[in-house]
A and B are shown apart, each in its own frame.
Chain A
């Protein structure tokens, strides 16, 4: 294992993050505050409680997940797409590094950035609502797994994308709707039976439900199924990345 190479990729990627630290930090704080003002104060005042939890607190896990998923995805996809776009990918392909080392470096950095932003949002939310975390270890586990799996997914998108439009396409047209319709801001028990069934086909539901369970002990789907779903998603992404590097798809001519 070329640990020096992994550390180099990780450090190089994190430098990009630190260059725009203010933007990386301010943006989630501002958007979280806006969500609390709009959803928490304006709408939340008309909704009493959801499954025994105040609406303001109920949306915290969804908010964290929304940002973590989109940030992990966009950071990882941009992280590997940018070298492809400017041509510096040649260096990765000619270096004595395996696919696993490249993935650990890029995905690790993207997951770290997403984790940082998720933590900032969680801390920001405590200024707006009283928050207790019923299962802190499970919460950290879900957070880490989500950062990791969506960073892996983002890495695939970054390799697949041939231009900036495609890079934005999947997050915009698929991930964001899935996150919003996966119960980020509501319990699926509030939906009519037909839409409840449809929502069960949304993979994001399982992540948000598990994450929310770690906060409040209530979930839309059993916790075991949530864990299995995220493990399956991670394994699927790893499998696709392994295939990409084995065949050189969109990397080697």
Chain B
């Protein structure tokens, strides 16, 4: 793998003194997908805007394919594509013209075959002669993606591309993202849908209050941060957890019929055997036993809450 995007100590302080980015550093490899998670106002869009040239960073540096975004902006920017969060399109222009314009703006020669391929891939080909204002919300989002792809970027920023998009269309967009990854395009995706990050990202970055809390392989993160839970359903409801089980830090569900035991899968001893023995020893009858893995959402919430604490 080779590095394609390098962000070093990127800072942005607005005129009113608000520090939107507090020294973010990040490296991305060719062809990888990074999902950037974070609550509203965490700095996700500011980070993207600073890299793409929409805002002037206060400090730090960014290079794309070895080209500095400031001193070698033409080479750097020609490698970047951006799908913004807001649907911003010229309403009276046709889909074809607006996508063709994007390619020309990036200095690329006319290539109708490529634009046809992109529009077909995004199910927009039959709408190519329609004015943008005639399209549905989901179609407009796809036009934004088509515009970003028209100049064949090597690094693509997708700023909440599936916000307000129905489930079927969202999955369709994931397929497009997978195809781009296969072509070696690096993708940075911001999203509020954690299932989206879970489904398509290679690495997860969590940002809060302008700081990158962590960037890790999705699988590693899930293993490291992921706690497993054992749910023991009882035959008869309990009013309180028996004294004999107090060492296990169990939770009792509201209905009193379920005991929840959290454990670390990487620990030498999970304590499950001992717990089950002690439950039997306490005279409790089991109805069912099941385990549950923490989702990325749980991990994200615990990280951000930890930051707030």
Q: How many residue pairs, one in A and one in B, have C-beta atoms under 8 Å apart? A: 80
By the criterion CB–CB under 8 Å, are A86 and B77 in contact? no
By the criterion CB–CB under 8 Å, are A5 and B78 in contact? no
By the criterion CB–CB under 8 Å, are B89 and A86 in contact? yes
By the criterion CB–CB under 8 Å, are A87 and B107 in contact? no
By the criterion CB–CB under 8 Å, are A253 and B14 in contact? yes
Q: Does B281 lie at the interface of the complex (its beta carbon under 8 Å from any beta carbon of A)?
A: no
By the criterion CB–CB under 8 Å, are A96 and B88 in contact? no
CB A194 to nearest CB in B, in angstroms, measures 46
CB contact under 8 A between A91 and B105, given known A15-B93, A86-B89: yes
- Contact residues in A for B92 (Cβ distance below 8 Å): 16, 19
Chain A stretch 78-115: residues in CB contact (< 8 A) with chain B: 82-83, 86-88, 90-97
A contact residues, total (Cβ < 8 Å):
27
A96 to B84 alpha-carbon distance, docked (Å): 17
A8 to B53 alpha-carbon distance, docked (Å): 20
- Contact residues in A for B80 (Cβ distance below 8 Å): 94
B contact residues, total (Cβ < 8 Å):
35
CB A120 to nearest CB in B, in angstroms, measures 23
Q: What 1/0 mask marks residues of chain A from 63 to 87 whose CB sits below 8 Å from any chain B CB?
A: 0000000000000000000110011
Cβ 8 A contact of B88, one of A7, A8, A12, A90 = A90
- Contact residues in A for B53 (Cβ distance below 8 Å): 93-94, 252
Closest residue of chain A to B78 (Cβ to Cβ) is A96
Q: Does A2 lie at the interface of the complex (its beta carbon under 8 Å from any beta carbon of B)?
A: yes
Q: Does B86 lie at the interface of the complex (its beta carbon under 8 Å from any beta carbon of A)?
A: yes
By the criterion CB–CB under 8 Å, are A86 and B105 in contact? no
Q: Does B55 lie at the interface of the complex (its beta carbon under 8 Å from any beta carbon of A)?
A: yes
- Contact residues in B for A205 (Cβ distance below 8 Å): none
By the criterion CB–CB under 8 Å, are A86 and B90 in contact? yes
- Contact residues in A for B76 (Cβ distance below 8 Å): 96
By the criterion CB–CB under 8 Å, are A94 and B74 in contact? no
Q: Does B82 lie at the interface of the complex (its beta carbon under 8 Å from any beta carbon of A)?
A: yes
By the criterion CB–CB under 8 Å, are B107 and A86 in contact? no
CB contact under 8 A between A86 and B91, given known A4-B104, A5-B104, A96-B106: yes
Chain B stretch 25-67: residues in CB contact (< 8 A) with chain A: 49, 52-56
CB B49 to nearest CB in A, in angstroms, measures 7
Q: Does A248 lie at the interface of the complex (its beta carbon under 8 Å from any beta carbon of B)?
A: yes
CB A96 to nearest CB in B, in angstroms, measures 4
A19 to B131 alpha-carbon distance, docked (Å): 12
- Contact residues in B for A91 (Cβ distance below 8 Å): 102, 105, 147
A2 to B49 alpha-carbon distance, docked (Å): 23
By the criterion CB–CB under 8 Å, are A96 and B75 in contact? yes
By the criterion CB–CB under 8 Å, are B56 and A253 in contact? yes
CB B264 to nearest CB in A, in angstroms, measures 44
Closest 9 CB pairs of A and B: A8-B104, A87-B88, A96-B74, A96-B77, A253-B55, A2-B107, A96-B78, A94-B52, A95-B105
Can you report 26 A-B residue pairs in the complex whose CB atoms are below 8 A from each other? A2-B74, A4-B109, A5-B107, A7-B104, A8-B105, A12-B90, A12-B93, A15-B93, A19-B92, A86-B91, A88-B90, A90-B52, A91-B147, A92-B105, A94-B52, A94-B53, A94-B77, A94-B80, A96-B73, A96-B74, A96-B75, A96-B76, A96-B77, A96-B78, A248-B56, A252-B56
